[in-house]
Structure 1
Amino acid sequence: MVDDVTQVQAERMTSGKGFITALDQSGGSTPKALALYGIEEGSYSGEAEMFDLIHRMRTRIVMSPAFTGDRVLAAILFEETMERSFGDRPAAAYLWHVKGVVPFLKIDQGLADAADGVQLMKPISGLDALLESAVRHGIFGTKARSVIGAAWASGIAAVVAQQFEVAEQVLAHGLVPILEPEVTITIDDKAAAEELLLAQLVEQLDRLPADRRVMVKLSLPTVPNLYRPLVEHPRVMRVVALSGGYSRAEADALLTEDVGEIASFSRALTEGLSVSQSDAEFDTTLDAAIQAIYDASVAPGAGTGAGSGSGSGSGSA
């Protein structure tokens, strides 16, 4: 049974205007995120202090008056963030009940060593317990990332198969999975890799039962509108784009060319933010970033399509 809140969130994620913020940097990516924010790695000691600092940065973003559900549809959290609070409310509850932003959770535990041109996800230990915790916290969906580094058919098939295997486990808990098979934007055969990826995704989507829907998060494609078949697929709630190393301006420009996709940016969102900024400077910079990404996500044709507008299933049976 889908409760009223989940139904509202599903409708928002299916057809709402806006984009998804990725606030899910974990252990490996946190030092770089802090450095870009103006906090160098040598200025703190130990993982606990590092996570305290990144949480302060995330709190400053989420509690800014610029960050609201008017333009931000959803936010992806790291598990450690889900267990904390924004202000005096649990993180996911604050996002939804105060800001009107749908909470998601990053569930992967990093990447395995490269093989066959890809990096699969490491086995996710304790996944069922994590998903049960996510449900208790009011999380709507999850995100899991793997990486494609070459147009290698067997490797890409393995990435997509693993993504759908994890997605089935997520769906069984009544959550909506975001599949993220990221194609590295700097590889020479990126376009060929994307063609192989699209074929594998469509094949797996066609096998999903009629009452199951997923989201797909992908690198911005070399050929505009390559992923339109996913946007229009009845098993896809939303197709979202990661910035993948592009600057915000580059990512926004590329996104406007892809009908039906919306942004799910991390580094591009926080570009220009600094720990040394006054609250007014910080809010102004964040507001400009949010507006630019929002505009790219709702550009003529963006965020629409047969798949995006059809139905409002939550992924729950």
Structure 2
Amino acid sequence: MACSSFMNLNASSSQWINQRSIPSCPFSNRRIFLVRAGAYNDELVKTAKTIASPGRGILAIDESNATCGKRLASIGLDNTEANRQAYRQLLLTTPGLGEYISGAILFEETLYQSTTDGKKFVDCLIVQNIVPGIKVDKGLVPLPGSNNESWCQGLDGLASRSAEYYKQGARFAKWRTVVSIPCGPSALAVKEAAWGLARYAAISQNNGLVPIVEPEILLDGVHPIERTLEVAERVWSEVFYYLAENNVMVEGILLKPSMITPGAEHKEKASPDTIANYTITMLRRRVPPAVPGIMFLSGGQSEVQATLNLNAMNQTLNPWHVSFSYARALQNTVLKTWKGQPENIELAQKALLKRAKANSLAQLGKYSADGESDHAKKGMFDKGYTY
């Protein structure tokens, strides 16, 4: 087969071509992978494009029960299922939320819960054209042989769990692993993060779920922004190598990267324009344009800072939908407004809509921080944060 003919094959082809059969091709020393046709391919692409729709992003409410308990404790509430349900009901039943939010990542408990009047949370989302998603990893544990680093567990039984989540209405998945710059990071930790994400992504796609690929580079550290860029490029290079090894269809994934910032304890802070420049540089060097959406995490930034940085990234034309997948940067003011009091639900929902609209405008490159409260400008970095 001629090299030119080989390169023009449609990416959805079910063929698998070994580069040894095309010795005349100048790319013959590379691994070249074509996506095998899968039962869910068309649906995966449609789901990814729905989530990556203009002016919309993801509401992440996938905190574990323990972490949700910490949030509730901050407003004086006990960590009970009823209180967790009440808070998630406040979020998921907010009128008009679908105008700004295209997807919601749920914890397993929430995926199977209903409102107090019996309506499934999944249905509350669907009626607003919000795609239900599900956190599928089982959390971080120590990685033996590393520099005091972690790896993410949860591959055992993932296929059967994913099939059940799909039946329940979930259409995308989230798997979070982390990389620590102060810990090196070690080659072992980077490889483990990339391989685990790739295996999870392949399993998710095989069960109809669009995988969000999230190797979070933690904010912890005193390093400059140049060091963050260096590590991010290394991590994402490994991630896409192993995604290819596992035959993952990139048109049916979403990414959830960290923004390229200095370490949280670095002596100099970076402006939104600087962060945007470094972040977009990393993406252009490492991420194929076929990826539909880049849904950034906030990682402990203040509500306003996360929105300003996103807005700056959307001042230039990008080949991807550059948007948000925020947890604390959407919820912090909401939680403080609610205070666990039924009479504050409407005000809290208005606070959620305000933050969601602000990030919607940032996705379109039209946000201004004029009129933002001091509380929304307060950073939320927590050294050694776990959830």
Same fold (TM over 0.5): yes
Letter in 2 for 1:202: F
**Aligned with 1:81 (options 99, 110, 115):** 110
Could you say what secondary structure the match of 2:102 adopts?
A: strand
Does the alignment pair 1:221 with 2:260?
A: yes
Letter in 1 for 2:60: A
Aligned to 2:130: 101
8 A contact 1:153–1:196 mirrored in 2: no
Structure 1 spans left out of the alignment, 5+ residues: 301-317
1:13 Cα deviation after fit: 2.2
**Aligned with 1:156 (options 190, 213, 219):** 190
Distance 1:84 1:4, change over 3 A: farther
Number of residue-to-residue matches in the alignment: 290
Does the alignment pair 1:24 with 2:62?
A: yes
Could you say what secondary structure the match of 2:99 adopts?
A: coil
8 A contact 2:134–2:170 mirrored in 1: yes
Aligned to 1:119: 150
8 A contact 1:112–1:122 mirrored in 2: yes
Aligned to 2:73: 35
TM-score by length of 1: 0.82
Could you say what secondary structure the match of 1:159 adopts?
A: helix
**Aligned with 2:352 (options 286, 304, 308):** 286
Could you say what secondary structure the match of 1:75 adopts?
A: strand
Structure with more of its chain in strand, by fraction = 1
1:207 Cα deviation after fit: 4.4
1:167 Cα deviation after fit: 1.2
**Structure 1: distance between partners of 2:303 and 2:333:** 10
Aligned to 2:289: 233
**Structure 2: distance between partners of 1:160 and 1:210:** 13
Distance 1:181 1:211, change over 3 A: closer
Distance 1:205 1:298, change over 3 A: farther
Aligned to 2:234: 196
**Structure 1: distance between partners of 2:215 and 2:313:** 18
Which deviates more, 138-147 or 83-92?
83-92
Structure 2 spans left out of the alignment, 5+ residues: 1-38, 262-277, 315-320, 367-387
8 A contact 1:118–1:159 mirrored in 2: no
**Structure 1: distance between partners of 2:42 and 2:197:** 28
**Aligned with 1:147 (options 156, 162, 178):** 178
1:7 Cα deviation after fit: 6.6
Distance 1:231 1:295, change over 3 A: farther
TM-score by length of 2: 0.68
Could you say what secondary structure the match of 1:120 adopts?
A: strand
Report which structure shows greater RCO (CA 8 Å, sep ≥6).
Answer: 1
Letter in 2 for 1:228: R
**Structure 2: distance between partners of 1:26 and 1:264:** 17
8 A contact 2:55–2:100 mirrored in 1: yes
Does the alignment pair 1:170 with 2:204?
A: yes
1:233 Cα deviation after fit: 3.0
Does the alignment pair 1:62 with 2:92?
A: yes
Letter in 1 for 2:88: R
Aligned to 2:82: 52
Could you say what secondary structure the match of 1:219 adopts?
A: coil
Calculate percent identity across the aligned residue pairs.
Answer: 23
1:228 Cα deviation after fit: 3.2
Could you say what secondary structure the match of 2:66 adopts?
A: coil
1:289 Cα deviation after fit: 1.1
**Structure 2: distance between partners of 1:203 and 1:5:** 24
